[in-house]
Chains A and B, each alone.
Chain A
Amino acid sequence: MLEVTSLSKAFAGFKAVNHANLAVEKGEIVAVIGPNGAGKTTLFNLITGIIKPDSGRVLFKNEDITGLSPHEVCRKRISRSFQIVNVFQRLTVFENVQISVLSREKKTWNLFTPSASLAINETDEILESVGLLKKKNRTTALLSHGDRKVLEIAMALGGNPEFLILDEPTAGMAAEETSRCIDLIKKLSQTMGLTILFCEHDMEIVFGIANRIMVMVRGGTVIQGPCEEVRCNEAVQDAYLGGSDVCLM
């Protein structure tokens, strides 16, 4: 479904992403792991058009989407959440998701119908599915960190995506919130049939939900394969454990 070939991006000479390769099949959950600064977030930014790549190609459903702007990428039904919480702070939980739904329905050029009367059911459904319905009238700034991360996912769902990119979905969450978030990701994959690409530092989560894992070190792809294969791969052990031959997890 998604195929990234030899994607590269340098910032002032520093190769943040260096010939990265990645393939995600329909219905899969793929995790990207790697040490801090390996270029995971930059890779996601390149795929979603927030940053333009220097070279390489991104194919989505056999269509070249390299270098499209973010709103065009979103129209291809690729949605993402952000590592650092990135929501509309002054708006309510409901409005945050509603904008996303309205945008997908291309209604944001409508100047005269009150927003309050549009996309209500669909927005409620999304909030229900992620468990935020009870908090829908709260101003986002008053939410807990965990809820805001979940709201991120809800906003991404507003675009009715086929392909969901989650940048460290559980970062900074309390243990209980984390387990709820993992259940949510599993549910999105199983019941809604979404293809999911995510990155995460917590190996327990990675090996718990991913079908396949891509390991990134210094901007490049070290290996991509099923969990078992990645666990005891030498290069991965080098990167994570400084060369000891203990398997991850």
Chain B
Amino acid sequence: MSRKTIWGLGAGIIVLLLCPLFLPRFYVYLVSIILLYGLLATSLNLVLGYGGIYQFHHAVFYGVGAYGTTLMLTKTGLPAIFAFIAGPLVSAAFGLVLGIICIRLSKLYFGMLQISLGSLVWAIVYRWYSFTGGDDGIHGIPMPEMLSSPKSAYYFTLIITLVSLFIMWKIIRSPFGSALQGIRDNPVRSEMIGINVRMHQLLSLVLAGFFAGVAGSLFVVVDNTVFPDMLFWTLSLEIVIMCLLGGGFTFLGPRLGAAVIIALRTFVSTYTDYWALVLGIIMMLVIFFLPNGILGYVEEKFKRGFVEPEIEER
């Protein structure tokens, strides 16, 4: 990482830390949502951008994490900390089970089966009134005192998001991350140098499920509600778009994509119900002119001038 990037990141984090001090309540809420959606999109990017696995229905793990945390909070008397640990773990378990079933298929077939199974989970949550609250969802989820104000929810979200991002960043740079990217580029070759492709992909799905679950739990903290739409496939599509828009081969791209989409949804939808139309047009422009996403484009521009001397130096 260059010094510039470190300064940039540091500045970004400081701004985020100071946000609640001068922003009105609504914007604090909005930034929290952007943070946790960014985490969600980054967790998808772990398998989609770095793993090359077409996880089309990622929202399932987000929703399962949120419901896991909520049900622990409302149905058991255990301390809240267990609920926040349970949510992501349940998501990871779902990631494992759906992964084992789907991983036999590759590429688009994987995606199709994953959408079907994910929709099944959605249908169960949608219908099981006695347990999940059905299509009403669950509202007014009790939070521990520490997290009950928007400000504290914001800081909780910020810290957990940063920690999660850091862990994912480490994973991508680890030997496992290298192997995963190798598998994305060339599965046959990876097998032939001794990598067990299916098992590595499965682990990446579990990890992605876990971090999606973290994002889901954070949503419960910020919004105090859960509803079945969190597992609906249209949300999954939105997450995929976040990745593509921001840049699927960059680490922070999906985070940027999430910010753009949430901002669009919030601000454009106050003027028109057809905010998706604006998103559609932007998406088309991105696909035509910035095939590597916004951050992918910036990186490319930035590298063009700097990469050559770097080679000479080493």
Contacts from A to B (Cβ < 8 Å): 48, 50, 69-71, 74-75, 79-80, 82, 86-91, 95, 98-100, 102-104, 107-116, 118, 137-138, 155-156, 158-159
Contacts and interface: CB of A to CB of B under 8 A. Distances in A.
B174 A115 contact: yes
Interface string B184-213: 011011111111110010010000000000
Interface string B214-240: 000000000000000000000000000
Interface string B76-87: 000000000000
Contacts, number: 107
B8 interface: no
Given A71-B197, A90-B185, A108 B178 contact: yes
Nearest to B310: A137
Contact of B194 (A50, A87, A103, A137): A103
Q: Is the interface of A mostly helix, strand, loop or mixed?
A: loop
Contacts of A111: 170-171, 174, 176
B177 interface: yes
B63 interface: no
B189 A88 contact: yes
B182 A88 contact: yes
Interface of B: 170-171, 173-179, 181-182, 185-186, 188-197, 200, 203, 249, 310-311, 314
Contact of B175 (A90, A110, A156, A158): A110
B176 to A, nearest CB: 5
A138 B186 CA distance: 18
Nearest to A74: B194
B200 A108 contact: yes
A108 B186 contact: no
Minimum-distance CB pairs A-B, first 3: A74-B194, A70-B191, A108-B179
A232 to B, nearest CB: 37
Contact of B191 (A69, A109, A155, A156): A69
Given A109-B176, A110-B175, A87 B170 contact: no
A107 B174 CA distance: 9
B178 A112 contact: no
B191 A71 contact: yes
Contacts of B174: 110-115
Contact of A79 (B178, B192, B197): B192
11 contacts: A69-B196, A82-B189, A86-B186, A90-B185, A103-B193, A108-B175, A109-B175, A111-B170, A115-B177, A118-B175, A155-B193
B194 A104 contact: yes
Contacts of B196: 69, 71
Contacts of A107: 175
Nearest to A119: B175
A158 B192 CA distance: 11
Contacts of A103: 179, 190, 193-195
Contacts of A159: 193-194
Nearest to A101: B193
Given A71-B196, A114-B173, A155-B193, A102 B186 contact: no
B271 to A, nearest CB: 41
A99 B171 contact: no
Given A110-B175, A115-B177, 20 more contacts: A70-B192, A71-B194, A71-B196, A74-B192, A74-B193, A82-B189, A86-B188, A87-B189, A88-B185, A98-B178, A99-B178, A102-B179, A108-B195, A108-B200, A111-B171, A112-B170, A114-B170, A137-B314, A156-B193, A159-B193
A158 B189 contact: no
A115 B196 CA distance: 18
Nearest to B171: A111
Given A88-B182, A91-B182, A115 B173 contact: yes
A135 to B, nearest CB: 9
B178 A48 contact: no
A99 B179 contact: yes
Nearest to B173: A114
Contact of A50 (B181, B186, B188): B188
